Amino acid sequence: MSESRQRPPFKGPRWIITLVALVTLVVITALIYPPRNSVTCYMFSGPGCQLYQQFLFVPSRELTDTEAAAQVVTNEIMNLPESKTSNPKIAFMFLTPGALPFEPLWEMFLRGHENKFSIYVHASKKSPAHTSNYFVGRDIHSHKVAWGQISMVDAERRLLAHALIDPDNQHFVLLSDSCVPLFDFNYIYNHLIYANLSFIDCFEDPGPHGNGRYSQHMLPEVEKKDFRKGSQWFSMKRRHAIVVMADSLYYTKFKLYCRPKMEGRNCYADEHYFPTLFNMIDPIGIANWSVTHVDWSEGKWHPRLYNARDITPYLLRKIKSIQLAYHVTSDLKKVTTVRPCLWKGEQRPCYLFARKFNPETLDRLMYLFPNYTSLV
């Protein structure tokens, strides 16, 4: 019988093992402690990186002429240095059919901060009789708005256009006539002005009320894989507002092919245009949730309407304490996605505003305002 032979000890090139270990260590270190001024920062970090602000678009296919032209404009806007102003302001943009019943509450919220905000009112049916001096003379030229139609997006773009005229306006918040603030002015101002993101709601819904609304007519510029859904109540940085104003390519696609009762689908442009646009051009520059709370728990076509009997410190505290953003798909699977609401890496309350409040709640809200805006 032949003698058993033992395997000799491994004498391979140890430098390969050392190199692999070293590379692994570098990658892990970059992920945990991303450097601020290097290519590694761009590869491994997020909006905190300085280089991250250099917008990069890598097409996955050959672009059409109109797409190429649009990308040139978008790239130029996204790569512009942040606008500097000694007096950054928030533009509060109210989209309303007529009256603004919560003007007295907003006056309480705004008082003492006159140099830190601007107000714009788009009244689609009739010009409101304002009760607060902060709102007098702030109506813009308006047109009729139909629910679910592109005219809703037109009104939003019209508000942005007027607000962008003031170079001090650095953050733009879309509000309705039934919206109320949840925190005091200083908290909301600091949260928005110093944020590194736009708060635009955006998620992928494969169900009938999401991708089921997509039309093949949007090809090639808008592919189904890029189609997104979200709340219309946005809050965006100045750079993103300029992108909206510059866009005609994607806006035209939604104007023509996202509307109610088209090809048996009910597509609502105000729920899809902004989420899809920013998912395509700057997905890492948006938070993917809205800072305006809406209660859809009743499962109806419209959100819950809060009445006077509903207004308690408990309700307001409950809304303010929410720190997780939820999205549920509209298909039979009802897949729920949960994400923490992060502000520069710190988990914070998701919502700064809330709707829908019945006008009868005004007195109760004003009574509670000094306390509920400071509740934790």
Q: What order of strands is seen across the sheet that includes strand 353-354?
A: 180-181, 353-354, 292-293
Packed helices 362-372 and 103-110: angle between N→C axes, nearest 10 degrees: 20
Question: Beta strands 198-201 and 169-176: pairing type?
Answer: unpaired
Which tens digits make up the pLDDT trace of 200-227? 999 999 999 999 999 999 999 999 999 9
Three-state DSSP at 79 gives: coil
- Per-residue pLDDT tens listing for the chain (376 residues): 444 444 444 445 565 555 545 545 544 444 444 444 433 433 333 444 443 344 555 556 788 888 888 889 998 998 888 888 999 999 999 999 999 999 999 999 999 999 999 999 999 988 889 999 999 999 999 899 998 899 999 999 999 999 999 999 999 999 999 999 999 999 999 999 999 999 999 999 999 999 999 999 999 999 999 999 999 999 999 999 999 999 999 999 999 999 998 888 899 999 999 999 999 999 999 999 999 999 988 877 789 999 999 999 999 999 999 999 999 999 999 999 999 999 999 999 999 999 999 999 999 999 999 887 775 5
What are the tokens at 85?
A: 């102003």
Which tens digits make up the pLDDT trace of 280-320? 999 999 999 999 999 988 877 789 999 999 999 999 999 99
> Which helix (H) or strand (E) covers residue 283, if one does?
none
With a CB cutoff of 8 Å and minimum separation 6, the contacts of 318 are none
Which DSSP symbol is given to 210?
T
CATH 3.40.1840 for domain 65-292: no
Which tens digits make up the pLDDT trace of 103-131? 999 999 999 999 999 999 999 988 889 99
Three-state DSSP at 323 gives: coil
Per-domain residue ranges of the chain: 65-292
73-74-80-82 Cα dihedral, nearest 10 degrees: 140
Any idea how long the chain is?
Answer: 376
